[in-house]
């Protein structure tokens, strides 16, 4: 994915060096593939999957450095702050806005199930 493709799908302009942009796309592709339960994304992406990837990158970049606590728990004199990572925020946005594309390509939870029954025939004898 080029920076021009990214701008096409998100409307956002980025100005990274080619080396940095390649690293960003490679990392995002790997994380998105994992999110979809795929070993890797196809080398040539269909337009809707490219849109999904571009908007995932947009989400990650938008939440870069986001360490705002989302919840705080206090137990006696001990306080725990829960924060979300940039990837978690990006995944939440992607899941909310692109569920149809995710459902189309996700391999999570798919498996071949075979119904088994005892082989029987004539007068109750099992074979």
* Per-residue pLDDT tens over the stretch 21-64: 999 999 999 988 988 889 999 999 999 999 999 999 998 887 77
- Per-residue pLDDT band at 127 (split at 50, 70, 90): very low
Instruction: Report whether pLDDT(9) > 90.
Output: yes
Long-range CB contacts for residues 90-93, cutoff 8 Å, separation at least 24: 90/56, 90/59, 90/60, 90/62, 90/63, 91/35, 91/56, 91/59, 93/55, 93/59
Tell me the torsion sign for CA atoms 30, 33, 38, 44: negative
Task: Count other C-beta atoms under 10 Å from residue 14's C-beta.
Answer: 14
Q: Answer with the residue of higher pLDDT: 114 or 6.
A: 6
- Interacting residues of 109 by C-beta distance below 8 A, sequence separation 6+: 37
- Per-residue pLDDT band at 67 (split at 50, 70, 90): low
The pLDDT score that the predictor gives to residue 92 is 78
Tell me the torsion sign for CA atoms 51, 52, 54, 55: positive
The pLDDT score that the predictor gives to residue 35 is 86
Average pLDDT value for the chain: 78
- Where are the chain's structural domains? 3-114
Instruction: Report whether pLDDT(66) > 70.
Output: no
């Amino acid at each position: 994915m080029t920076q021009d493709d990214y701008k096409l799908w998100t409307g956002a302009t980025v100005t990274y060096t080619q080396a940095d942009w390649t690293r960003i796309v490679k990392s995002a592709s790997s994380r998105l593939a994992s999110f979809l339960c795929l070993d890797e994304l196809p080398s040539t992406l269909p337009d809707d999957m490219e849109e999904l990837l571009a908007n995932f990158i947009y989400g990650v970049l938008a939440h870069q450095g986001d360490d705002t606590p989302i919840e705080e728990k206090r137990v006696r004199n001990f306080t725990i702050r829960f924060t979300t990572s940039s990837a978690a925020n990006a995944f939440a946005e992607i899941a909310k806005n692109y569920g149809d594309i995710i459902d189309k390509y996700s391999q999570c939870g798919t498996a071949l199930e075979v119904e088994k029954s005892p082989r029987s025939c004539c007068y109750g004898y099992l074979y």
